[in-house]
Structure 1
Amino acid sequence: MKLQRKNRLRATALGALAVSGALVLTACGSDDNTESTTSGDKTAAASSIKCDDAKGQVLAAGSSAQKNAMDLWVKNFQQACAGVEINYQPIGSGGGITKFTQGQVAFAGSDSALKPEEVTASEEVCKGGKGINLPMVGGPVAIGFNVPGVDSLVLDAQTLAKIFDSKIKKWDDKAIADLNPDAKLPSTAIQAFHRSDESGTTQNLNKYLKAAAPAEWNYDDSSKSWEAKGGQAASGSSGVASSVKDTEGAIGYFELSYATASNLTTVKVDTGAGAPVEATTENASKAIAAAKVKGTGNDMALELDYATKAEGAYPIILVTYEIACDKGNKAETLPSVKAFLNYTVSDEGQKVLSEAGYAPLPTEIAAKVREIVPTLS
C-alpha cells in the first residue's frame, strides 16, 4: 500500500512538472516573431501590418538617433511577420553609410542625406541604380544639462556655440546669467560632451549653430565629426546622455528620447521668437513642416530651416533617412525591406513615434515616401 501511495504521489508530481514545463515552453515560444498573441495591441499590430513576401534576416545599420524608434518598429513588425528578423545596429550615421556603400547591409539609417560622393559609391552596390534618401523619423535634438539647483535653463545659439567651443567655461558666465535672470547659477565648471563617432546628430547641431550663430561657429557644417575645441567625447547618443547624467556641470546633445529615458532636463532655446522654445515633438514638427525637398526623382533629401524664428518652432531638428537602393537591391532581402519600410512610413508606424519622443513626418512628405517604397526594385 505504501509503495502504491508513493507511486501515485510521484505520478502526480511528474504531471504537475509536465504542465509547468509546458507553460514555460509556451511562454518561451511566444517571442516577438510569432503572429498569435493575447495582447489586444499586438493583435491589432499583427493584423494591420502587411508582411507580403517578407522572410529571413535583414541586416541594417546606422543612426543611433533613431534607435528607440527602430526598436519599436522592429518589435511590432516581427510580431506580425513570422520568420522575419530585422537586425539593426545603431553604430552611427557614418558607419551605417559605409556599410551600405560596401554592400554589407540592406539599408542604412542616417541623420543627414547622402553626399554626392556617397551616392557615387552606392552605385557599386546598387546595380543599375543608386542610394536614395527616404525620410522616416523626425525630432528635436535636445540639449540636456546637469546643473544642481537649476531646473530651467534658456540658451540661445550664440551662447550654445561658445559653450560647445569652450569659450564659455563657467555656469555663472554673464552670457548665461543674462538669459536666466531668475536662476541661481553656480560657478561650477562646464563639462561639455559631444559624440566621439561620426554622427548625423552632430552634423545637425553643426548646421543649426552655423545657421543661427555664424559669427561664433566657424566649423564645417557638413561634417559628421566633432571639430570644435575641448569638451569630452562619448560614443553614441546613449553614451552622451549617460555622461551628462553622471557628471555634475555637464551639458550635451542627443535626441529627445534619450533625455526622457535618462530623466534629464533640456534647454529651452531663445530663437528670437516671442518666447523661448522647449524641445518637444510638437515644436520640432512645426520646424520640420517647413522643410523643402531638395532631392530629385525618388530621392527625398530635405532642406531644413535651422534659423527659424517662427513662434513655437524648435530649431535644432533632425530628420533621419532610411537609405536604400532605388534599383539593384538584393533579391533575397528586397521583399522584407519593402514590407518593413512600408510599415515604418505607414500611419500606424508613424503614430508610434510620438510615444517614443520623436516627431512623425509631415503629412505631405510621408505621402510621397509611401509612393516611393513600393517602387524599390
Structure 2
Amino acid sequence: MTGAGAVVFGLAACSDGPSDAENNTVSDAAQEKLSKATGTLVAEGASSQQKAMDIFGNAYSNAVDGASFSYTPSGSGAGQKQFIAGQVAFGGSDSPLKDEQIEAAAKRCGGNEAWHLPMVIGPVGVAYKLDGVDKVTLTPELIAKIFKGEITNWNDPALAAMNDNLPDKPISVIYRSEESGTSDNFQKFLKAATGGFWDTTGKAFPSATGAGANGSTGVVGQVQSIDGAITYVEAGFATEAGLNIADIDFGEGPVELNPESVGVALNNLTFKTEGHNMVVDSTKLFEMKTKGAYPLVLTTYEIVCSAGYDENTKNQVKDFLTVALESQNSDLEEAGYIPVSGEYKDKLAAAVEAIN
C-alpha cells in the first residue's frame, strides 16, 4: 500500500537518483551484511525526511538487485498510524510514539517492543521572505511572539532592537496545517527555550494566527509567494526554495544555522531511553544555551519492530537501514541534513543489527 504521493525507487531510478556513483556505493563490509531480500519495502511518514529517503531509496535499489523502496511523505502522524496498523514496514516520525501508542505498537510487532531509530538529523530553520533583507536575527521569545500573533509587523520595536532597516511590512505567518512532527518539535522548542511563554504542544499547530499549508513543500511554497511571510521548516526545504533563514540568539549571541553550529548541539545530545530504543531528550536539547550551538534540530525516527516481522520483511528492513547508514555522506549534507557519525552512528548500527 503505497498511497497517494508515494515515491518508489527501483532499478529504473538508478540513473536519475540524486547521488553520484561514488556516494551511492555500499562498502564491502556492508554488502556482506545484506540479506539481498527482494521485493518492495513500503514505509510512510514524516515529510521532513523525504529528501533523505530519496537518497537512501536510490542507494538501496542499487545495492540490492530486485529490491525497491516506496515512501509516502504523508506526515509523522500518518506514519505512526500506518505503522501501528501494520500497513507499512516502518514509520517515519519527527516525534516518538506517545505512551498510549506504545502498547498498540508492541501488539503490531507480535508482542515485541517498537524501537525509535533517529536515522535522519535535520536542523529546522525559521525561514522567511522579505524583499531587500538578507539577514534577520531573532530570539526564541521573538519567534514565539510572532507565531502567537503578538508581533505582526517587521518594523516592530522589539525586532528593530536586534535588526537594522526592517521594513514597515506585515508579517504573514505560515504553519503546517496537518498533524506534523515538525510542528510538535517546533512547539517543544518554543516552550523549552522560552521558559514556558509558549504554552501549547503537540503535532497540531495553533491556527489562531496566520494560514496553514500542507507539508514541508507546502509551507515553503506559500512563503515563496508572499513578501513578508515566515514559517518553520527543515533547512533543506528552505534553502532549496531560496528562502532566507534567520539567525537565532539562544542566549549566547546570534547563531547561524550551519553544519558546524548543529554539530556543537549534537555533541551534547542525550537520550531518554536505554538500549536500542533511542528516544532523544528533546527538552534538554531545546533548552541548550551552549555558545555556538544551534539546538533547533529535528531528529527523525524510523519506528521499527525490534522483532515480529515475517522473515522477508525483517531482511528488507535491515538491508534498507544498513544502506541508509552507509549513505550518511555529502549527498545527505547537500540535501540539508547532518550526516551521523562516530559513536552515535555505531549505536544505530548495533540497533539495526539487533532487529530479529
TM superposition score normalised by structure 2: 0.90
> What secondary structure does 1:308 align onto?
coil
Q: Which residue of 2 aligns with 1:292?
A: 270
Q: 1:341 aligns with which of 311, 321, 325?
A: 321
Q: 1:64 aligns with which of 18, 23, 47?
A: 47
Contact 1:42 1:79 in 2 (8 A): no
- Check 1:155–1:31 CA distance in 2 against 1; reply closer, same or farther (3 A cut): same
Structure 2 residue 259 is matched with structure 1 residue 281? yes
- Check 1:267–1:191 CA distance in 2 against 1; reply closer, same or farther (3 A cut): same
Q: 1:355 aligns with which of 334, 348, 356?
A: 334
Which contiguous aligned blocks of 4+ residues in structure 1 show a shift greater than 4 angstroms? 45-49
User: Greater Rg, structure 1 or structure 2?
Assistant: 1
Structure 2 residue 293 is matched with structure 1 residue 310? no
- Check 1:315–1:335 CA distance in 2 against 1; reply closer, same or farther (3 A cut): same
Structure 2 residue 197 is matched with structure 1 residue 192? no
> What secondary structure does 2:278 align onto?
coil
Distance in 1 (alpha carbons) for counterparts of 2:144 and 2:267 = 25
**Superposed, which structure 2 residues align to 1:248-263 within 5 Å?**
248-263=227-242
> What secondary structure does 2:78 align onto?
helix
Distance in 1 (alpha carbons) for counterparts of 2:142 and 2:159 = 7
Distance in 2 (alpha carbons) for counterparts of 1:229 and 1:264 = 24
Letter in 2 for 1:41: E
**Superposed, which structure 2 residues align to 1:139-150 within 5 Å?**
139-150=122-133
Letter in 2 for 1:96: G
Q: What is the number of residues matched between the two proteins?
A: 339
- Check 1:47–1:94 CA distance in 2 against 1; reply closer, same or farther (3 A cut): same
Contact 2:11 2:65 in 1 (8 A): no
Q: Which residue of 2 aligns with 1:174?
A: 157
Name whichever of 361-370 and 190-199 sits farther off.
Answer: 361-370
Q: Which residue of 1 aligns with 2:189?
A: 208
Distance in 2 (alpha carbons) for counterparts of 1:293 and 1:350 = 24
Q: Percent identity?
A: 37
- Check 1:163–1:42 CA distance in 2 against 1; reply closer, same or farther (3 A cut): closer
- Check 1:262–1:81 CA distance in 2 against 1; reply closer, same or farther (3 A cut): same
Letter in 2 for 1:303: D
Query: Deviation digits for residues 206-249 of structure 1, max 9, x if unmatched?
Result: 111101113531112xx111125211100011111111111111
Distance in 2 (alpha carbons) for counterparts of 1:212 and 1:89 = 32
- Check 1:97–1:350 CA distance in 2 against 1; reply closer, same or farther (3 A cut): farther
Q: 2:208 aligns with which of 229, 232, 246?
A: 229
Contact 2:36 2:64 in 1 (8 A): no
- Check 1:240–1:85 CA distance in 2 against 1; reply closer, same or farther (3 A cut): same
**Superposed, which structure 2 residues align to 1:1-377 within 5 Å?**
31-32=12-13, 40-41=21-22, 44-45=25-26, 50=31, 51-180=34-163, 182=164, 184-220=165-201, 223-227=202-206, 229-273=208-252, 275-304=253-282, 305-346=285-326, 348-377=327-356
Cα displacement (A) at 1:344: 1.2
> What secondary structure does 1:59 align onto?
strand
Distance in 2 (alpha carbons) for counterparts of 1:56 and 1:331 = 13
Contact 1:135 1:321 in 2 (8 A): yes
Letter in 2 for 1:67: Q
Q: Return 5+ residue gaps in structure 1 as ranges.
A: 1-28
Distance in 1 (alpha carbons) for counterparts of 2:24 and 2:249 = 44
Query: Deviation digits for residues 78-104 of structure 1, max 9, x if unmatched?
Result: 122221111011111111000000000
Distance in 2 (alpha carbons) for counterparts of 1:359 and 1:202 = 20
Query: Deviation digits for residues 69-123 of structure 1, max 9, x if unmatched?
Result: 1101111111222211110111111110000000000001111122211211102
Distance in 2 (alpha carbons) for counterparts of 1:210 and 1:362 = 29
- Check 1:132–1:42 CA distance in 2 against 1; reply closer, same or farther (3 A cut): closer
TM superposition score normalised by structure 1: 0.85
Cα displacement (A) at 1:349: 3.1
- Check 1:83–1:46 CA distance in 2 against 1; reply closer, same or farther (3 A cut): farther
